């Protein structure tokens, strides 16, 4: 559990001479290693934070392409709304079970390259593969035998009928025979209906969507843990805000890039259209950003951390142990002085021990006496390995403070996902009056695509809002306190989403999308800023089965980041399973924006119960 009232952690680390001395010793020790790790104990500049967090900017480019185009792509290849929302639930269902495991693996990875970067690299490769499968699913499906889009002559007279290509020498139409051979659709004599055959494309696109979404979500855990590991506790606020600023910047550029009609450019024509152009650019940008982050700062490998205490993070518990040790030395010197005085005041008998030996005995006895608050047990426990059973218990039996934080994060993600995953579909259908299931050459489908592009610009506004709010969130916390910033931001978003749902038009899409950026900034900042503070205070411990006394083990930072961040999977499963049914019942995609408003309001209520330490 988090302790009650605690002293200001930042002020102590900045002003305490004991802390400064301990940090200096650690920095010198880290510099003397085979590789220089002294940067771990130094303050970081804004440029350093940008280098470490560059990967989140690349991930936001991926998210921008995913949220803007995956739903239209799935609808365009014949998947209905309720099935499309279920597709979105597959990845989080897998991630819900695997994300904490990935966090635990990251905590215990013994690679010479560190604990976080190898996991981040592996997930990054999977993300790139997913980004390539989604836009090229139709092409791969065509290679595997898909017929693609089949439109009759009555649908669009300007298009050459498919049946014209499928007649024998006597003029007898063979379309019905062809379809029966593929056993996919039953075709009447009138072939005016719009038909599609994207069997393989559907499979490939769904696999790509799962890979892209799963790896993007799980990249968050090692990237955040890497950021907090490399930075000092007093830098956690600026580190998290920099993380959010880059997220918003990447999203704004990514969505704006998606709003461009690349079909009218030679570059877009060369790559095969707007969607393929956007995803190709996203893959290149993400690869560059991932490389920048991986090459920014060297991590201290876990074996070195276990072997050398001076390479471990400087937590408050370590400071308390050092102060207790110094106080014990002072008492020892006093005891030695008293012993020396007593010996000098008496006449040494032949049977007495020499005075120096008595002094040595007294000194040894005092050194062996443990001081109150000594962390020897903690030092031993830090090296104990967590069994799978202990790991599951650390998740199920989490401290109350983390449980409340998880609940708040869950509703925040439900609000954000309701808005982000279906927003371009909402704009295309409700604002522009388009139809994603219409033939690709029809006016309704073109209106839908225009709405999707317009929605991309609206989401660019929300990303700019995210960056702006993230840039000021640290100052807002100092002025208004964290509770007000957290709860107030969620209430503002709830009001904004509600107004957008009641008045769906081009103006509200632009103006009120900015409130969605507030939630995204809070999602990237507040939970992990609080977790960093909780762990910097050394307040979380989990009893080890069979242990006695104080024999406890600390919770891993990456594990808790994975648990709290893993609420995205629960939220995505909930939204995916429920949103399609809601759209069907109410007959409008405006329900997704109403849902975002309600979830933000519930999240604000939960945020009022979060433990904020001294923030």
For 437, residues 6+ apart whose C-beta sits below 8 A from its C-beta are 75, 78, 194
Q: Which residues pair with 542 in a beta bridge?
A: 553
Predicted local distance difference test score (pLDDT) of residue 24? 84
Q: Which carries the bigger pLDDT value, residue 161 or residue 64?
A: 64
The answer to whether residues 212 and 66 touch, using CB atoms and an 8 Å cutoff, is yes
Residues 1-26, mean pLDDT to the nearest whole number: 59
pLDDT of residue 227: 87
| Model pLDDT for residues 406-462, shown as the tens digit of each residue | 899 999 999 988 888 788 888 888 888 888 777 777 888 888 888 888 888 888 888
> Is residue 347 scored above 60 in pLDDT?
no
CB-based contacts of 183, cutoff 8 Å, min separation 6:
none
Confidence of residue 402 (pLDDT cuts 50, 70, 90): confident
pLDDT at 291: 95
Please tell me the predicted confidence (pLDDT) of residue 352.
Answer: 52
pLDDT band at 334 (very low <50, low <70, confident <90, very high): low
In this prediction, residues 81-107 reach a mean pLDDT of 80
Indicate whether 282 pLDDT > 90. yes
Helix (H) or strand (E) segment spanning residue 266: helix 266-271
Mean pLDDT for 526-551 is: 61
Cα dihedral value 25, 29, 32, 35, nearest 10: -130
Q: Kindly report the CA angle at 85 between 84 and 89, in degrees rounded to 5?
A: 115
Q: Average pLDDT in the 69-89 region?
A: 79
Which residue matches tokens 């570059």? 267
Q: Are 494 and 597 in contact (CB under 8 A)?
A: yes
pLDDT in tens, 104-135: 888 888 998 888 999 999 999 999 999 999 99
Q: How confident is the model at residue 590 (pLDDT cuts 50, 70, 90)?
A: confident
Q: Which two tokens stand for residue 585?
A: 């019942």
pLDDT at position 338 is: 61
**pLDDT of 403 strictly over 70:** yes
Name, in order, each residue with C-beta under 8 angstroms of 549's C-beta and a sequence gap of 6 or more. 377
To which H or E segment does residue 336 belong? Answer: helix 316-345
Partners of 553 in the beta sheet?
A: 542
Task: Tell me the pLDDT tens digit for each residue of 511-522.
Answer: 898 888 888 888
Torsion of CA 13, 19, 21, 22, to 10 degrees: -120
Name which of 134-148, 258-272, 341-355 the model is least confident about.
341-355
| Lookup: tokens for 323 | 């102060």
Residue 149 — φ and ψ, nearest 5°? -90, 130
Residue 353 has phi, psi (to 5 degrees) of -70, 150
Task: Give me the pLDDT at residue 414, please.
Answer: 92
Q: Supply the mean pLDDT for the chain.
A: 76
The pLDDT of residue 345 is 56
Quick check: 212 and 131 in contact, CB under 8 A? Answer: yes
Give me the DSSP letters along 119-174.
HHHHHHHHHHHHHHHTTTHHHHHHHTT--EEEE-TTT-TTSPPGGGGSB-TT--B-
* 200 Cβ neighbours under 8 A, 6+ residues apart: 140, 141, 144, 145, 146
Q: What's residue 504's pLDDT?
A: 87
Of 260-269, 384-393, 582-591, minimum mean pLDDT range? 384-393
Determine the pLDDT at residue 59.
Answer: 92
- Whether pLDDT at 373 is above 50: no
Q: Residue 492 pLDDT > 90, yes or no? A: yes
CB 486 within 8 A of CB 615: no
Q: Are 431 and 454 in contact (CB under 8 A)?
A: yes
How far, in Å, CA of 264 to CA of 243, rounded?
Answer: 35
- Taking Cα atoms as reference points, which of 136, 421, 456, 128 lies closest to residue 289? 128
Helix 199-230 to helix 117-133 angle (10° resolution) is 160
* Residue 178: Cβ within 10 Å count: 16
Is it the case that residue 488 has pLDDT exceeding 90?
yes
Please indicate whether residue 605 or residue 165 has the higher confidence score (pLDDT).
Answer: 605
Q: What is the pLDDT of residue 599?
A: 94
Whether residue 75 has pLDDT greater than 90:
no
Give the model's pLDDT for residue 9. Answer: 47
H/E stretch holding 26: helix 17-31
Q: What percent of the chain has pLDDT over 90?
A: 16
Angle separating helix axes 388-396 and 557-565, nearest 10 degrees? 50
CA distance 132 to 178: 31
Q: What are phi and psi of 243, to 5 degrees?
A: -55, -45
């Amino acid at each position: 559990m988090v302790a009650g009232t605690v002293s200001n952690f930042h002020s102590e680390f900045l002003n305490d001479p004991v802390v400064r001395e301990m940090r200096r010793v650690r920095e010198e020790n880290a510099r003397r290693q085979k590789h220089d790790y002294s940067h771990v104990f130094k303050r970081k500049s804004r440029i350093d934070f940008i280098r470490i967090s560059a990967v989140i900017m690349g991930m936001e480019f991926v998210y921008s392409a995913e949220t803007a185009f995956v739903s239209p792509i799935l609808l365009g290849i014949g998947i209905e709304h309720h099935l499309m929302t279920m597709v979105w639930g597959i990845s989080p269902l897998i991630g819900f079970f695997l994300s904490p495991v990935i966090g635990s693996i990251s905590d215990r990875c013994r690679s010479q390259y560190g604990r976080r970067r190898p996991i981040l690299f592996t997930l990054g490769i999977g993300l790139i593969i997913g980004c390539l499968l989604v836009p090229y699913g139709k092409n791969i499906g065509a290679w595997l035998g898909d017929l693609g889009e089949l439109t009759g002559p009555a649908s669009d007279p300007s298009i050459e009928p498919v049946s014209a290509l499928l007649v024998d020498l006597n003029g007898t139409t063979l379309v019905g025979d062809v379809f029966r051979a593929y056993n996919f659709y039953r075709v009447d004599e009138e072939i005016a209906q719009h038909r599609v055959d994207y069997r393989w494309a559907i499979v490939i696109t769904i696999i790509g969507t799962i890979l892209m979404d799963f790896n993007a979500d799980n990249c968050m855990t090692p990237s955040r843990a890497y950021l907090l590991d490399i930075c000092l506790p007093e830098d956690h606020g600026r580190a998290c805000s920099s993380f959010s600023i880059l997220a918003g910047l990447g999203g704004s550029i990514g969505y704006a890039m998606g709003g461009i009609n690349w079909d009218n450019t030679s570059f877009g024509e060369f790559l095969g259209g707007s969607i393929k152009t956007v995803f190709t650019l996203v893959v290149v940008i993400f690869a560059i950003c991932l490389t920048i982050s991986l090459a920014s700062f060297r991590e201290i490998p876990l074996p070195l951390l276990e072997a050398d205490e001076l390479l471990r993070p400087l937590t408050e518990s370590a400071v308390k142990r050092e102060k207790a040790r110094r106080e014990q030395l002072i008492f020892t010197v006093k005891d030695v002085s008293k012993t020396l005085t007593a010996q000098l005041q008496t006449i040494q008998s032949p049977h007495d021990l020499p005075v120096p030996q008595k002094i040595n005995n007294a000194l040894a006895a005092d050194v062996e006496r443990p001081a109150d608050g000594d962390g020897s047990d903690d030092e031993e426990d830090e090296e104990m390995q967590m069994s799978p059973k202990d790991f599951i218990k650390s998740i199920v039996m989490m401290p109350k403070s983390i449980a409340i934080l998880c609940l708040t994060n869950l509703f925040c993600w439900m609000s954000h996902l309701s808005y982000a995953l279906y927003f371009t579909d909402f704009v295309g259908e409700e604002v522009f009056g388009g139809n994603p299931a219409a033939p690709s050459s029809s006016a309704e489908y073109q209106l839908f695509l225009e709405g999707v592009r317009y929605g991309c610009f609206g989401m660019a506004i929300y990303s700019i809002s995210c960056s702006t709010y993230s840039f000021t969130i640290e100052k807002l916390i100092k002025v208004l306190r964290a509770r007000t910033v957290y709860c107030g931001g969620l209430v503002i978003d709830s009001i904004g989403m509600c107004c957008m749902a009641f008045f769906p038009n081009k103006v509200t899409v632009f103006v009120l999308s900015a409130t969605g950026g507030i939630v995204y900034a809070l999602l990237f900042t507040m939970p992990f800023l609080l977790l960093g503070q909780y762990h910097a205070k050394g307040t979380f411990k989990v009893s080890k089965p069979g242990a006695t006394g104080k024999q406890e083990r600390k919770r891993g930072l990456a594990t808790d980041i994975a648990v709290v961040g893993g609420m995205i999977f629960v939220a995505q499963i909930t939204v995916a399973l429920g949103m399609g049914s809601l759209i069907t019942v109410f007959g409008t995609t405006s329900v997704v924006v109403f849902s975002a408003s309600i979830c933000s309001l519930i999240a604000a209520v939960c945020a009022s119960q979060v433990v904020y330490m001294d923030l």
